[in-house]
Amino acid sequence: MLVSSKIVNGINGTVKIPGDKSISHRSIIIPSISKGVTQISNLLKSEDVFRTVNAFQSMNVNIQINKDDVIIEGKGLNSLNKSDKVIDLGNSGTSARLLTGLLSSQNFDSILVGDTSLSKRPMARITKPLEIMGAKFDNNHNKLPLKIYGKKLHKIDYELELPSAQVKSGLIFAALNTDGKSRIIEKKITRNHTEIMLESFEADIKINQVDSENHIFVNGKKELVPKNISVPSDLSSASFFIVAALINKNSFLTMKNINLNPTRDGILKALNLMQANIQINNKRTTNGELVGDLEIKTSELKGCELESDNARLMIDEYPILSIAAAFAKSPSIFKGLGELKVKESNRLDLIRHNLYNCGIFCKVSGEDLYIDPTKKISPKKNQIKTDNDHRIAMSFAIMGMKLGVDLYIPGSEFIKTSFPNFIVSLNNVGGNLSE
């Protein structure tokens, strides 16, 4: 149980944010199917990423985890071996969707399992388009556990039904090992870390922008050529610290080497609309990814209205953005948050439930979230409901430091899935969390 208590001074200093989770998963998957050795630095060493590591180790890829780097010896697109056990992906939705695509085009069968949360999450979004390519599954009403019958697939010309980088990436991985040229169309652009890394590994991949759509062409069966990877720090993890510094008095926080990929930086745009004092310095590109250093100062935030199109550019940041909105001087409306219902928990419902219990007026109408900090309601309960969701736990840890009553946060051990050092890192810059 995590207890979050009010802080008296601000959030100050420099914090080292761990490697980006999305890029870390891809930094294991892509080198594992390339031909040669890759050295990776700043990989996120969290439970979710280790699920992906274990999966490839169980398929006979040599992955060496050292203190300062990770070394992967890939042997090529078709070099994976059947795992002699079920592949347990724990809490990790990204591993589940990406591996389903990759493994459906291998010449062996696999079984994917996950924890209670992952076993409730939808898989049809990835299995359905893969079935069009000829993939075969035993699929338990489209949830994990999932048996994948590895098969030779055929190319696909497919328009994504929902904006999801996980689905897009799963299809790209299937297409990499499939003869011919596949086309995947995304009408709404989503995070493009897979495409960026595959381009640098010399995959036969082309992205054509057609009006506001992306047409991604993948010509399969081309072996990938390793490139060393330096994983940038995770903007999603940084967001908890950004909001903590913004809403607490006398704060000045710096964070270096943060990923600013424009398909992922919606949180900065939203906070900018809320008049947050965030300065970005030293913008540069590493391994095709835009990064920069951030300086955050205490700010008097105002509320904002975000249209549904924002959601895919910052889907993981709504829990912490809601905490910022709870301390703004005017109301906020965040629209089109349906996807939040199928994350590690029903995040839309948990945000509403927990904010309300903390004494912040909020309501959900359809898929829209309204937060009005100007309406006074009395706090109901100081026990947070997390449903073992790491981002809900971290967001309400930030809430407790500002609120004035201790917040009790169960399920905080799930923070390890994405940010193992969260508590220590936050306390080092002025946080007040105890376990």
Which residues are designated catalytic?
A: 316
Strands 433-434 and 2-4: antiparallel
If one asks whether residue 165 binds ligand S3P (CB under 6 A), the answer comes out as yes
Q: Which of these segments, 69-77, 128-136, 159-167, 355-363, binds ligand S3P (CB under 6 A)?
A: 159-167
At residue 14, what is the residue type? T
Among 100, 169, 248, 412, binds ligand S3P (CB under 6 A): 169
Among 166, 178, 332, 357, binds ligand S3P (CB under 6 A): 166
Distance CA 188, CA 164 (A): 9
Least Å from the CB of residue 194 to ligand S3P: 7
Least Å from the CB of residue 75 to ligand S3P: 25
Which distant-in-sequence residues (6+ apart) come within 8 Å of 276 by Cβ? 242, 246, 296, 299, 301, 324
* 8 Å CB contact between 97 and 170: yes
Which distant-in-sequence residues (6+ apart) come within 8 Å of 366 by Cβ? none
Q: Which of these segments, 129-137, 163-171, 199-207, 291-299, binds ligand S3P (CB under 6 A)?
A: 163-171
If one asks whether residue 238 binds ligand S3P (CB under 6 A), the answer comes out as no
Restricted to residues 21-50, the positions that interact with ligand S3P (CB under 6 A) are 22
If one asks whether residue 388 binds ligand S3P (CB under 6 A), the answer comes out as no
If one asks whether residue 164 binds ligand S3P (CB under 6 A), the answer comes out as yes
Least Å from the CB of residue 22 to ligand S3P: 3
If one asks whether residue 130 binds ligand S3P (CB under 6 A), the answer comes out as no
Nearest-CB residue for ligand S3P:
22
If one asks whether residue 20 binds ligand S3P (CB under 6 A), the answer comes out as no
Among 94, 230, 237, 251, binds ligand S3P (CB under 6 A): 94
If one asks whether residue 230 binds ligand S3P (CB under 6 A), the answer comes out as no
If one asks whether residue 54 binds ligand S3P (CB under 6 A), the answer comes out as no
Least Å from the CB of residue 264 to ligand S3P: 9
Distance CA 152, CA 174 (A): 10
Quick one: 237 or 299, whose CB is closer to ligand S3P? 237
Among 51, 121, 155, 191, binds ligand S3P (CB under 6 A): 191
Quick one: 186 or 293, whose CB is closer to ligand S3P? 186
Number of residues binding to ligand S3P, judged by CB under 6 A: 11
Least Å from the CB of residue 216 to ligand S3P: 14
Restricted to residues 331-350, the positions that interact with ligand S3P (CB under 6 A) are 339
Distance CA 189, CA 183 (A): 15
Restricted to residues 350-379, the positions that interact with ligand S3P (CB under 6 A) are none
Encoded one letter per residue, x for contact with ligand S3P by CB under 6 A and - for no contact, window 299-328 reads ----------------xx------------
Side by side, which strands form the sheet with 360-365?
Answer: 305-306, 332-334, 368-376, 360-365
Least Å from the CB of residue 169 to ligand S3P: 6
Least Å from the CB of residue 370 to ligand S3P: 22
Contact residues for ligand S3P, defined by CB under 6 A: 22, 94, 164-166, 169, 190-191, 315-316, 339
